[in-house]
Amino acid sequence: MDIANEEVSPSRSPRASRCELPNLPLSGTMRGMRARIVAVVCLAAVALSAVAVVTATAKTRRDGLPAYVTGWERWPKINRKPFSTPGPHSGVKNVYASKQKRGATYPNGTVIVKTIIKPGTRFVGQFAVMRKVNGRWQYIEWERPSPRARYALLAKGQLCQSCHMQARANDYVFTKR
Rounded Cα–Cα distance for residues 6 and 1 (Å): 8
pLDDT in tens, 144-168: 999 999 999 999 988 888 889 888 8
Rounded Cα–Cα distance for residues 143 and 165 (Å): 23
Rounded Cα–Cα distance for residues 92 and 58 (Å): 29
pLDDT band, residue 131 (cuts 50/70/90): very high
Amino acid found at 109: G
Q: N- to C-terminal Cα distance for the chain?
A: 72
Four-residue CA torsion sign, 37, 40, 43, 44:
negative
pTM: 0.65
Contact present, 113 and 99 (Cβ < 8 Å): no
**Where do the domains of the chain lie?**
3-57, 67-170
Rounded Cα–Cα distance for residues 162 and 158 (Å): 6
pLDDT in tens, 84-119: 987 778 899 999 999 999 999 999 999 999 999 999
